[in-house]
């Protein structure tokens, strides 16, 4: 049987959202990007001028903000529409200011508690591809298939840089690389649910591979997981 709960974790800009969405579409599963939730909390905190360093206020916000994932609706390249308390924040959560502040926000234990509980409830329904940092280790340790998607820092910075240029932003590659390094450092060293490969995750290095090549490998991993299950 095709694995029902699929977890894809990995560092910043490793291609999780592109591959996760393609995989979910092929399998006709729900695609769920857990990073969006941390981004929404960060974007709303910034919009309301809540200091990112105020753990109590940021945690209270995470516990109370209503996050909705809706079909794309607007044809502007979005994967889906994201609302925070009914307001469209689809592009606001991708801004650089959010990239820079999201890792400190997601390191707060209370914020994680609020977000992972919702993610777990959604994931346990099955037929889902969930992407993030701690899906295979903490949110859904019982996932039927876990993939850890990686790439070198330089390759990931290059991908994020090109994404930003395509969006018309003025950015410098060196700066994107610095910011990605900093985020990985915070994500990997935090005390609660740090980014790391689950012991039973399949490691996939996507450096130098095209989206089509990575998708092909991921599909092969899914097929082989289905085979193993049939044989046992």
Of 184, 226, 218, the residue nearest 202 (C-alpha): 218
Give CA–CA dist 58/52, Å, rounded: 7
Question: Distance of CA 144 to CAs 59, 209, 225, 226, Å?
Answer: 31, 25, 8, 9
**CB closer to ligand CDP, 5 vs 13:** 13
Phi then psi for residue 205, to 5 deg, are -95, 120
Which residue lies nearer to ligand CDP by CB, 38 or 148?
Answer: 38
Of 2-21, binders to ligand CDP (CB under 6 A) are: 12-13, 17
How many angstroms separate the CA atoms of 73 and 94, rounded? 18
- Contact between 133 and ligand CDP by CB under 6 A: the answer reads yes
Minimum CB distance to ligand CDP smaller for 52 or for 226: 52
Which residues ranging from 111 to 130 are in contact with ligand CDP (CB under 6 A)? none
Pick one of 29, 31, 32, 38: the residue that binds ligand CDP (CB under 6 A).
Answer: 38
Q: Which of 102/129 has CB closer to ligand CDP?
A: 102
As measured in angstroms, the least distance from the Cβ of 97 to ligand CDP is 13
- The end-to-end CA distance of the chain, in Å, is 11
Taking the complex as a whole, the smallest distance from the CB of residue 128 to ligand CDP amounts, in Å, to 14
Q: Which stretch binds ligand CDP (CB under 6 A): 133-141, 145-153, 170-178, 196-204?
A: 133-141
The torsion angles phi and psi of 7, rounded to 5 degrees, stand at: -110, 130
**Which positions from 163 through 202 interact with ligand CDP, judged by CB under 6 A?**
183, 187
DSSP 14: S
Closer of 103 and 206 to ligand CDP (Cβ): 103
Torsion of CA 207, 132, 73, 100, to 10 degrees: -80
Chain contacts with ligand CDP (rule: CB under 6 A): 12-13, 17, 34-35, 38-39, 102-103, 106, 132-135, 183, 187
């Amino acid at each position: 049987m095709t694995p029902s709960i699929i977890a894809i974790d990995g560092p910043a800009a490793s291609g999780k959202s592109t591959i996760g969405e393609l995989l979910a579409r092929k399998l006709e599963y729900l695609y769920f990007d857990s990073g969006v939730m941390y981004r929404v909390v960060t974007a709303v905190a910034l919009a309301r001028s809540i200091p990112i360093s105020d753990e109590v206020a940021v945690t209270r916000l995470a516990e109370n903000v209503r996050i909705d994932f809706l079909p794309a609706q607007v044809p502007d390249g979005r994967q889906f529409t994201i609302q925070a308390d009914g307001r469209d924040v689809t592009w606001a959560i991708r801004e650089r200011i959010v990239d820079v502040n999201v890792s400190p926000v997601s390191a707060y234990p209370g914020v994680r508690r609020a977000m992972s509980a919702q993610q777990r409830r959604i994931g346990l329904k099955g037929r889902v591809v969930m992407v993030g940092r701690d899906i295979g280790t903490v949110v859904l340790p019982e996932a039927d298939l876990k993939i850890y998607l990686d790439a070198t820092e330089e390759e990931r910075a290059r991908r994020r840089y090109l994404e930003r240029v395509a969006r018309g932003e003025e950015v410098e590659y060196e700066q994107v690389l610095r910011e990605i390094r900093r985020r990985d450092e915070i994500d990997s060293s935090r005390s609660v649910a740090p980014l790391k490969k689950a012991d039973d995750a399949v490691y996939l290095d996507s450096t130098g591979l095209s989206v089509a090549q990575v998708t092909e490998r991921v599909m092969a991993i899914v097929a082989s997981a289905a085979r193993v299950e049939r044989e046992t």
